[in-house]
Amino acid sequence: MVLFDENLYNLQQQTARKKHLEAARNNLYDQKRELDKQLLSLKCEKNKEQEDVAKLEKPSLSNFFYKLTGKLNEKLTQEQKEAYEAALKYDSVLQEYNDLTFRISQITDEWATLKDIEKEYRAALEAKKEEIKISESPEKEEILKLEKELITCQTQEKEIREAWSAGNRCLYAANNVIENLRKASNWGTWDIIGGGTMSTLIKHDYMNKAQSSVYVLQTELRYFRSELADVKIYSNLYVQADGLTQFADFFFDNIFIDLSVQDRIKSSLKTITDTKSQIERAVSKLSTLMTENEKKQTGLKKQIENYLIGQ
């Protein structure tokens, strides 16, 4: 005798999915507003640095004196470097912003397909209640209650696993950043003791790889935050998620000022290592939630089985 209502289960899953999409979208909108502020500030900085370069490239009295003292090229090189760093920061945040906008669009489109799902779910529940009333079986009513609780647990399991998977993707990305920073640090040490041009080039190559890895990690962290926001709907899990995406600002500020400064590489390495530890703690909590959820599902299934066999 199977009383499990597949249609009711699917409607409950879709209702939970809509709540998940709403929580994720709200979280992404918050992040987008923060990126709006960053972009405005970085654009102003980028334009200012480009204007500084343009001023040095145009004939002027001050540039004439710089040229006489032999400092024009040095000054121009420094301004060009600062302009490059400002453009790099702006482009990185702009890419994040575009990715975030696309993700919000995807979520909104999916949400639109579930717009009236709560109404359908409530109607299905009422129909099920009428079916129970007709059957006049208290055992069936108790089984329905247990099945509803089981469906809720299964939905929670799906959301927890999604957050857990997102967290593990963050750990993978963090490990890539750490690996590239460590290699850059090793080659930086060799460079300091006289490794020559080749060691400098290799160090810079690993720095570029680290920068690319940071962008990937930033993106994964933002998705992880939105998944954690959804998990909080179903549990008391609390993670200091707001700090997870802040390390990248430190990273940019400390690496691209001067690629030859070894202690700045080490500082960035410590920062990303601390971030990784926080992600690991969050993933560990999610693993605990999954274990607890599985135990609860097992207990509910056993209770349903006992009702079915008349124990």
For the chain, the domains span 1-136, 138-311
Grouping H, G, I as helix, E, B as strand and the rest as coil, residue 33 is: helix
Which pLDDT value is given to residue 112?
94
Q: How far apart are the first and last CA of the chain?
A: 15
Residue 151: exposed, middle, or buried by beta-carbon count in 10 A (0-12, 13-18, 19+)?
buried
Class of CATH domain 138-311: mainly alpha
pLDDT reported for residue 59: 65
Q: Which pLDDT tens digit goes with each residue over 247-282?
A: 454 455 544 444 455 677 777 788 888 888 888 988
CA-closest candidate to residue 53, choices 80, 29, 33, 71:
80
Strands (E), the chain: none
Q: What number of residues does the chain have?
A: 311
Number of H helices and E strands in the chain, helices first, is 8, 0
Distance CA 87, CA 78 (A): 14
Which tens digit of pLDDT belongs to each residue from 275-302? 888 889 889 999 999 999 999 999 988 8
Distances in Å between the Cα of 289 and the Cα atoms of 75, 89, 179, 245 are 58, 38, 30, 24
Query: What global pTM score does this model have?
Result: 0.57
